[in-house]
Chains A and B, each alone.
Chain A
Amino acid sequence: MLLTALILMPLLFAGIVAFAPARNARGMALLGTTLALALGAFVCSQFDWGYADKHQFGAAEPFVWFPALGLNLSLGVDSVALMLVLLTVLLGPICVLCSWTAITQRVRTYYSWLLVLQAAMTGVFCARDVIFFYICFEFTLIPMFILISLYGSTNRRKAAIKFFLFTFTGSVIALAGLIYVAWYATTTSGGRFQGWTFDIGALESAARTMSLRQQSIVLLALMAGFAVKVPLFPVHTWLPLAHTEAPTAGSVILAGVLLKLGTYALYRFVLPFVPEAVVEYAPFIGVLCIIGILYGGLICWVQTDVKKLVAYSSVAHLGFCVLGLFALNNTGITGSILYMINHGLSTGALFLLIGMVYERYHTRSMKELGGLASKMPVWATFMVFFTMASVGLPGLNGFVSEFLCLLGAFQASSAWGSGLWGSLGLQPGATPGDYGPWFAAVAGVGMIVAAMYLLYMVGRMVWGPLVEPRSHAHHAHGAEDPNALPRDLTPREIGLLIPIAALCIGLGIYPKPVLDALQPPVSRTIAHYEQLRNSPRLTPTAPAEHASAQDGEGAP
């Protein structure tokens, strides 16, 4: 019931905002998101942390939606989903507040779509039914498309279309994969048709009995959808464009939550559904992550558009996140989930800060902006702070997750199959591929690259002699615009940065509650991999035999 309310609350306010007078729109939106935040906090307090791997708050009798296909509107969160729900509801009021003065046209449309987006994102994390998950997952595209294409900057049309088509194409393939799993599940035992179900838990146990070959195909399909969303290396190009063109709140949500939909889906579907294929192909995915980390990082270094720089940095950061996830051990996955939250906070805050500068100077080019520390000391302080959080400075949030991800990758070899080097013929015999440390080392170079590009950004934007756009300087000498923002941050802007900063410090110096809360679900995910490792099915010859056996069994 609580979760239903959490989804319906923003929807309700979206309706109110859409029909209320335009001058009340932002106030109503703020009220709605704040209520959702309060409700989120209440959910958090009611959550039974002792059973953090159980999906809680689901109704006893789920609402039957489409009985012929076994579709239910079942909801429920474990601690992983709850963390991400909390991140979503936290970013809600922040996104409303950061648009407070920036959005002056079509405000009702803007805020109601913002609220709809929040409802859809909450729905993704709460869903316990594959189809409901997928509907929410896809539905996030529409509000985002509208936010970008109506409120974005110059190149917004192209960005919005590319964003939509790119992610949509991917997720349709993922849907095919999910439906294949559901179809497979209808006939698991004895080849007799048993009726459809789309319950995640039921599909999870059914999907694991697929042969390696089937699992590999499903893995490919799911990766096609979710890797685009994350985004992983070769399918990331929509991100810089969408980020750059989106309005500030759009970028914050994009970085903060939308990218996490992809990683969350990887965690929720890929890892538990197709473990054997994951074990085989994790090194490949790891390679993609590492390419993303280094390639994305180096591209950041040559950007002149500061928003694009931060956007590419997301490619690099999410590389760490996915690398940790596919390390398939406890430290890696814990780190990865923590990374989702931390990246949402620190990169979200960087986008907020850039948005604040953009609102004042109407440019994002680092050629036209520089040395703002002397004009905006408070802004500069926050900028340096969040840059350091993003660099992964110990004591701030980014470090804990980055270190855990890298440590996970360092120790990943024992969980990975010999797929990568074995298939390349490079496997030097006895040890089953002790290449995890190399992954960690090469990914670790990404930490240096991160320092390079982020300090380059800070060095340009914050330090150095003051550089302002010529038009702006001219404007300042002319008539003062009464609605113009003061040169440094307003209390409203400081007020929306402080909670994020406090969380960054809090998660940096006392991450223990979160880490503890994540252990039960992560251990549950890992348990299956440990089982696999101990069972003979992973021996090099087994999959082939088993595949044929499974094929025979799986045929209807």
Chain B
Amino acid sequence: MLSQEHITGHAATAIDEGGMLTMLVPALTILAVVLCGLFAAMRVKNKAPAFVTVALLAASFVAVLMTYLNLGVEKTWIAHGFDWINFSWSGSENRKLTTHALIANFSFYLDGLTILWMLFVTGLGTLIALYASEYMSHDVGAGYCRFFAAFSLFVFSMACLVMADNFLLLYLGWEGVGLCSYLLIGYFYKKPSAVAAAKKAFIVNRIGDLFLALGIMLIYTHFGSLEYTTVFAQTETYIEALKEGNLEVIPATVQLIPLLLMGGAFGKSAQLPLYVWLPDAMEGPTPVSALIHAATMVTAGVFLVARTYPLFLLSEHALPAVAWIGALTAFFSATIGMAQFDIKRIMAYSTVSQLGYMFCGLGVLTSVGGAFHVFTHAFFKAMLFLACGAVMHGFAGQLDLRKLSGVGFMRGWKVTTVAMLVGCLNLAGFPIITSGYWSKDMILGEAFANPHTQAIGWILLLTAGLTAYYTFRVFFRVFVGPVQYEMGDEHHGAHEDAHGHGEATHAPAHATHATPHAPGWAINTVLAVLAISAFAIIPFTYSHGGWVHTMIEGSTARYEGAAAYLGHGEHAHGTFLGFEAHGALMVVSGIVGAIGIVIAWWLHYAGRTTAATSRADALLPKLGPIPRWAQHKWYVDEFYDFLIVRPLWVLSNIFHFIDQYIVDGIVDLFGAAPSLTGKAVRPSQSGELHSYAAWMAGGMAVLILIVILVAT
């Protein structure tokens, strides 16, 4: 007996050739990269790179949209670009001729999951590029070109990652987004902290990538192919077996694959224990944080799990592990977020936390919920970052919530404040009117609906309350309350110094930054569009995913009604304290969110007269060292440094020593052997004529003696 509500009765989705229009996306984005490169070479000192990028990204969005409208998501389409790594060879196995091939083409696999992801990647990409055209305007020149080239390259890589029809092209996109992330985090390359953050992001991601690469190798070894169609056709039979309750037909190697892929996903999506790079990544310009480190790239891990969901269903441990790590990350990073003062970092930790939610969604078998949350989160989190970025831009880099207050009451900040409010409401999961509420609720409900995952549900519910609190902590501190502010000290001046190319192009408007300047049309437009769409997507997504549900149902991420860890494909219905889970959670999560908001209001708004102090200050000492520990991010970075980086550094030095003095020393010893021997026998050459003569006479005597002895 199978769980009814998840079975839609479709067999393998039909696969057809088509969707060549999507090839435009990589083509256009690469064109944008090339053009930006040319602009840099031509020393263009205007906003041309930005407008080219915006135009080409918008065209990409249209291409994806057209593909969706033309092809729909009932079928899966394969668009073949060109052969990438593609070769075959014949061999013999037990005296039989066999043919092997390694095929990883530059081809796209278009199903609902792909289209969903591509729509928001290109859509948000366009909007954020528009925002960045203003945000980065103080850097017009080579830096501007560099920014938009990397930006377009990012969209290109993301397109490869999402639309790939094989694991290797996915890996190309996967590392490609890592590269762009590296380049963009390190955008202000004169700042050592930015360089260090970029390096950290790349290396930590590489750790995850290793697991992904090993997973891919194991897939190839086991399934003999890297292409989704071939691999998933084979998983189909395993899933059928699972539905029959034959758990033992699944080999251990297949069960290992999702665990390896999971490692990759956790690196890219900043989950425990590899989350440490994401908060540091905020060193990059804010549009980058919004697009890459909030909306799109970090959801690549979620995408990977969703894409390979059939593999995850085959393992007894993979999905529970995904759910648990997601839940723990969600809670853990929420606690850190509560204690931070840098508003961008708070948003970063909230991203880590929300990504945990998404993984939980996948882990508790609501892949729709996971994808749904990715989708809504992309909008509101991008908006939150962009609003924070507007503040940062206007207040000369000021990000400390103790130094900003009442921004909303200042001239020209209305759009930003409204957008921020909408974003905060969504993130906090304010009931009914926010899309974030619906997506979060779906995951929570499903967690409680499954008796195996009750504990995860409780963690997530608690995290929802924490989220509401820290989100509105920012809003109440920065955007409302008494008008009081302190300008940042680094912003434009630092950028110019940091940059070196900005010289003459530096806009006169920015010459003095004693006073804040409100955002201009580009920033306001983007914020308004995002704020509207955060509401506009509710009808699409309302109740059990709606439109997102239809997108996921036809894709690889659909839940097939059988998962290895549930045993016989059945899962008993869990409840929330005896109530029907989904219904009860709608109410409960709304209440929890509201409580969080109220606490934030009480501690950080009510009765606050200055920017720097609030009622919470009185409360903190009573909690002992915990707030301090949380503010120091529970010393995880220090812990890693102590446990991994330092020992490795010492080991490297030891190796260096060994290489110089032992390995090379042995070589030198061999080299020295002849001269050492020479040294040893040298004293026999005394230089005295008599000793030579005596040696000669003695030698003759010995020879004669030998002759005599031998002869007789």
Contacts and interface: CB of A to CB of B under 8 A. Distances in A.
A271 to B, nearest CB: 15
Nearest to B143: A377
Contacts of A334: 87
Contact of A448 (B85, B88, B100, B206): B206
B37 to A, nearest CB: 9
A534 interface: yes
B207 to A, nearest CB: 6
Contacts of A301: 648-649, 652
B651 A526 contact: no
B176 A394 contact: yes
Contacts of A295: 655, 659
Chain A, interface size category, equals 35 or more
A514 to B, nearest CB: 9
B168 interface: yes
B203 interface: yes
Given A410-B221, A437-B218, A374 B91 contact: no
A393 B656 contact: no
B87 A393 contact: no
Contact of A394 (B172, B199, B671): B172
Contacts of A516: 87
B179 A393 contact: yes
Interface in A336-393: 371, 373-374, 377, 384, 388, 393
B628 to A, nearest CB: 31
A204 to B, nearest CB: 19
A527 interface: yes
A512 B203 contact: no
Contact of B86 (A373, A448, A515, A526): A515
B688 interface: no
Given A407-B217, A459-B195, A302 B91 contact: no
B192 interface: yes
B91 A523 contact: yes
A441 B85 contact: no
Contacts of A522: 89
Interface in B636-661: 648-649, 651-653, 655-656, 659
Interface in A281-305: 295, 298-299, 301-303
A509 B106 contact: yes
Nearest to A400: B85
A232 to B, nearest CB: 12
Contacts of A437: 214, 217-218, 221
Central interface residue in A165, A374, A519, by most chain B CB within 10 Å: A374
A464 B195 contact: yes
Contact of B95 (A400, A519, A534): A534
B664 interface: yes
A463 interface: yes
A117 B174 CA distance: 42
A406 B86 contact: no
A384 B149 CA distance: 14
Contacts, number: 160
Interface string A431-475: 000000100110011011001100110010011111000000000
B32 to A, nearest CB: 16
Contacts of B85: 400, 403-404, 511-512, 515
Contacts of B213: 403, 406, 444, 447
A169 to B, nearest CB: 8
Contacts of A166: 667
A234 interface: yes
Nearest to A234: B663
Given A407-B217, A437-B218, A237 B652 contact: no
A464 B91 contact: no
Interface in B152-203: 168, 171-172, 174-176, 179, 182-183, 186, 189-190, 192, 195-196, 198-199, 202-203
A403 B168 contact: yes
B92 A371 contact: no
Contacts of A238: 667
Given A237-B664, A331-B102, A371 B217 contact: no
A400 to B, nearest CB: 6
Chain B, interface size category, equals 35 or more
A313 to B, nearest CB: 13
Contacts of B659: 237, 295, 299
B142 interface: yes
B520 interface: no
Given A371-B190, A459-B195, A515 B92 contact: no
Contacts of A298: 648, 651-652, 655
A110 to B, nearest CB: 28
A162 interface: yes
A395 interface: yes
Contacts of A464: 189-190, 192, 195
A545 interface: no
A435 B501 CA distance: 53
A299 B652 contact: yes
A404 B104 CA distance: 12
Interface string A504-535: 00000111100110010011001100110010
A523 B91 CA distance: 7
A451 B202 contact: yes
B202 A455 contact: yes
Nearest to B87: A515
A140 interface: no
A166 B652 CA distance: 25
A463 B92 CA distance: 52
Nearest to A394: B172
Central interface residue in B90, B168, B171, B202, by most chain A CB within 10 Å: B202
A531 B172 contact: no
Nearest to B654: A298
Contacts of B655: 295, 298-299
A509 B84 contact: yes
A544 B98 CA distance: 31
Nearest to B201: A455
Interface string A313-338: 00000000000000000110010000
B209 interface: yes
A411 interface: yes
Given A464-B190, A465-B190, A512-B83, A526 B199 contact: no
Given A298-B651, A447-B206, A395 B176 contact: yes
Contacts of B142: 377
Contact of A162 (B499, B648, B671): B671
A533 B384 CA distance: 62
A295 B652 CA distance: 8
Contacts of B192: 464-465
A164 to B, nearest CB: 11
Nearest to B92: A530
A134 B464 CA distance: 72
B94 interface: yes
A447 B209 contact: yes
B621 interface: no
A463 B88 CA distance: 43
B82 interface: yes
B424 to A, nearest CB: 35
B89 A463 contact: no
A133 to B, nearest CB: 26
Interface of A: 162, 165-166, 234-238, 295, 298-299, 301-303, 330-331, 334, 371, 373-374, 377, 384, 388, 393-395, 399-400, 403-404, 406-407, 410-411, 437, 440-441, 444-445, 447-448, 451-452, 455-456, 459, 462-466, 509-512, 515-516, 519, 522-523, 526-527, 530-531, 534
Given A394-B172, A523-B91, 7 more contacts: A393-B176, A394-B175, A406-B213, A445-B210, A451-B202, A459-B195, A462-B189
Closest 5 CB pairs of A and B: A394-B172, A374-B500, A237-B664, A298-B652, A463-B189
17 contacts: A235-B667, A237-B664, A299-B656, A330-B100, A377-B501, A393-B176, A437-B217, A447-B209, A455-B203, A456-B199, A464-B190, A466-B190, A510-B84, A519-B87, A530-B93, A531-B92, A534-B92
